[in-house]
Structure 1
Amino acid sequence: MSMNKMMKQLQQMQAKMMKLQEEIAKKTVEATAGGGAVKVVANGKLEIVDINIDPDAVDPDDVEMLEDLVLAAVNEALRKVQELNTNELSKLTGGLNIPGLF
């Protein structure tokens, strides 16, 4: 394979990667905790974009429980975004594990 051909293929893959990253950034995932008492939505850029808390989950005498539910839902949403990134990237790379891409 000539160097020019290989460079062209790398440039094409880089363009596809950038497009994929843009597409992933627009996607959202949702996670819940406490049987739906806390719902968190995150986007593909690992940003939390929405948090909903059921008013019944707010107990002034047990703030720690609510904090735990929010923490659990946020961590689950971020885990789901990482999984989304990995799954989408593997489609592009054909399952090759290329360190540092996501």
Structure 2
Amino acid sequence: MTDFTKILDKAKELEAKMKESQEKIKEIKAEGVSGSNSVKITLDGEGEMQKIELSDEIIKEDKAIIEDLIVAAHNSAKSQLKTKTTEEISKATGGFGIPGFKWPL
């Protein structure tokens, strides 16, 4: 019975760490840039866009170029966010991850 109790205790500990991680993830900010810092996009830990900055110089460019740079900056921010959330989850799970679980980012 002690082995089962230990397993339950570990599961409760992991659950508490995951809840703490989820709160920390909400506070994460990830910034993506493109076009030599002409476009900057900031995402929060839930993947929501919080801010977009366009340099004065980029505004003079063709619309299609600006659109491509916005997409590139967003993808960069999304990639950084994925890395940061993965690191946070690894801290909580001791680097083991959760088999079969894929984060929605």
The TM-score, its normalising length taken from structure 2, stands at 0.86
Query: Is the partner of 2:78 in helix, strand or coil?
Result: helix
With 75-84 and 88-97 compared, the bigger mean Cα shift is at 88-97
Distance in 1, matches of 2:102 and 2:21, equals 11
Tell me which of the two structures has the higher relative contact order, counting C-alpha pairs closer than 8 angstroms and 6 or more residues apart: 2
Match of 2:43 in 1: 42
The TM-score, its normalising length taken from structure 1, stands at 0.88
Match of 1:88 in 2: 88
1:58 aligns with 2:64: no
Match of 1:29 in 2: 30
Match of 1:12 in 2: 13
Match of 1:3 in 2: 4
Match of 2:73 in 1: 73
- Following TM superposition, the consecutive aligned residue runs of length 4 or more in structure 1 with deviations greater than 4 angstroms are none
Same amino acid, percent of matched pairs: 30
What stretches of structure 2 of length at least 5 have no aligned partner?
none
Q: Which amino acid aligns with 1:78?
A: K
Q: Which amino acid aligns with 1:4?
A: T
In angstroms, what is the RMSD of aligned CA positions? 1.6
Query: Is the partner of 2:31 in helix, strand or coil?
Result: strand
What stretches of structure 1 of length at least 5 have no aligned partner?
none
With 35-44 and 83-92 compared, the bigger mean Cα shift is at 83-92
Work out the number of aligned pairs and report it: 101
Distance in 1, matches of 2:92 and 2:22, equals 11
Distance in 1, matches of 2:97 and 2:13, equals 18
